């Protein structure tokens, strides 16, 4: 455990030091990517190549078109990936690996700009790059100071810094994020609406003068544990839950003459059918309830959202 703590502390210290290494070259690199008409090509060799693939994924998911190009493959045919207006980010701790030393001049010959992410600004890559992002680390977390650990973490964080600055300058919003993340719970939190949740649900409802026996049947048949109480214009005047039924039965068994109006709760919580599903979840959680009635723009009753609907969609 001591070694694990030492590793974490060492890497966190190195990451914190990156803030001290930032200079105007970072600013100019961001501005250039922002103004470029092409894509961002991210390349590297070894562990730096693995980091490059993650940076590409982050760029693509935050509105900056990017492509991964392995540095080894690039000098054996894949250099054709680089188009006229593309920007190339080369990642290398030493900046002096054989593949990078071959690749950098070729990229320069094509007149593409190079952004170097390197721990050695005085390296071959650093001297041949148009912009240098310094990711120097004092030592690797590896006890032998050999396995890329701290250095690759620093590269990853620098890539994240680029991506976050770019998305902010582009005005990238949660709606844009949802467009690029339509799958999974994350995407659903950003695009799923109440209307999507209720489309397959029943719409339990009674009127205020209905007998309690009818209320019990409505709640049982619709299987949502609740029924709306509406007026002749389908406007909500109250709500009755299965909990209300249990509480009523604990007080009296003479239910033949009781009406919905006598046991309903007035002014129940409601949500608009076009609201986001996460807003429905917030309302349920903040009010410690498991169902909420849904209305449309005219405030007419249109259905029920149950907590189980949110669980089923993976939002809860």
The full DSSP string for 92-124 is: ESSS--HHHHHHHHHHHHTT--EEEEES-TTSH
Give domain status of residue 181, yes or no.
Answer: no
CA distance 105 to 113: 11
pLDDT of residue 1: 87
CA distance 240 to 286: 19
* Percent with pLDDT over 90 in the chain: 76
Count of the separate structural domains present in the chain:
2
Cα dihedral across residues 244, 245, 247, 252: positive or negative: positive
Specify the CATH number for the domain of residue 75: 3.40.50.10490
pLDDT of residue 256: 80
Q: Map residue 42 onto helix, strand or coil.
A: strand
Give domain status of residue 184, yes or no.
Answer: no
**Same domain as 210, residue 164:** no
Angle between helix 184-191 and 277-287 (nearest 10): 90
Beta bridge partners of 216: none
253-290 in b/e form (b: 16+ CB < 10 A) is eebeeebbbebbeeebebbbbebbbbebbebbeeeebb
pLDDT digits over 289-310, tens only?
999 999 999 999 999 999 999 8
- Does the pTM surpass 0.75? The reply is no
Cα dihedral across residues 246, 250, 255, 257: positive or negative: negative
Tokens 């054989």, residue located: 98
| Low-confidence residues of the chain: pLDDT under 70 | 178-187
Give domain status of residue 11, yes or no.
Answer: yes
pLDDT of residue 169: 92
CA distance 97 to 83: 24
pLDDT of residue 182: 63
pLDDT of residue 83: 92
pLDDT of residue 148: 87
Give domain status of residue 185, yes or no.
Answer: no
Of 266, 195, 281, 279, the C-alpha closest to 236 is 266
The answer for residues whose C-beta is within 8 angstroms of residue 291's C-beta and 6 or more apart is 224, 225, 226, 241, 284, 304, 305, 306, 307
Which of these three, 119, 137, 172, is where a domain ends? 172
pLDDT digits over 221-244, tens only?
999 999 999 999 999 999 999 999
Give domain status of residue 297, yes or no.
Answer: yes
The answer for residues whose C-beta is within 8 angstroms of residue 106's C-beta and 6 or more apart is 74, 75, 79
**Same domain as 78, residue 18:** yes
**Same domain as 206, residue 162:** no
Of 75, 53, 49, 78, the C-alpha closest to 66 is 53
The domain in which residue 14 lies consists of 2-172
Q: What is the DSSP letter of 260?
A: H
Cα dihedral across residues 86, 87, 91, 92: positive or negative: positive
The answer to whether the annotation marks 76 as part of a ligand binding site is no
pLDDT of residue 142: 83
Beta bridge partners of 235: 300
pLDDT of residue 101: 95
């Amino acid at each position: 455990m001591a070694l694990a703590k030492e590793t974490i502390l060492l890497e966190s210290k190195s990451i914190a030091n990156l803030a001290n290494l930032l200079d105007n070259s970072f600013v100019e690199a961001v501005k250039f990517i922002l103004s470029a008409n092409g894509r961002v090509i991210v390349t590297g060799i070894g562990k730096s190549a693995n980091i490059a693939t993650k940076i590409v994924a982050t760029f693509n998911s935050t509105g900056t078109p990017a492509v991964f190009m392995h540095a080894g493959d690039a000098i054996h045919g894949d250099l054709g990936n680089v188009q006229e207006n593309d920007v190339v980010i080369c990642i290398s701790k030493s900046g002096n690996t054989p593949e990078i030393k071959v690749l950098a001049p070729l990229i320069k010959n094509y007149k593409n700009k190079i952004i170097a992410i390197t721990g050695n600004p005085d390296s071959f890559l650093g001297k041949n790059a148009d912009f240098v992002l310094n990711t120097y680390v004092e030592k690797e977390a590896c006890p032998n100071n050999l396995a890329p650990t701290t250095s690759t973490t620093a590269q990853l964080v620098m890539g994240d810094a680029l991506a976050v600055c770019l998305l902010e300058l582009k005005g990238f919003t949660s709606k844009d994020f949802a467009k690029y993340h339509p799958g999974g719970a994350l995407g659903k939190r950003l695009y799923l609406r109440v209307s999507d949740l209720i489309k397959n649900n029943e719409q339990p409802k009674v009127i205020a003068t209905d007998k309690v026996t009818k209320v019990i049947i409505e709640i049982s048949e619709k299987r949502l544990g609740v029924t709306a109480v509406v007026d002749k214009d389908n406007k909500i005047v109250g709500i009755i839950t299965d909990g209300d039924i249990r509480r009523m039965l604990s007080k009296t068994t003479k239910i033949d003459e009781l009406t919905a109006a006598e046991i309903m709760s007035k002014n129940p919580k409601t949500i608009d059918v076009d609201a986001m599903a996460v807003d429905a979840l917030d309302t349920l959680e903040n009010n410690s309830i498991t169902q909420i009635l849904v209305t449309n723009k005219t405030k007419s009753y249109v259905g029920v959202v149950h907590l189980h609907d949110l669980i089923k969609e993976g939002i809860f």
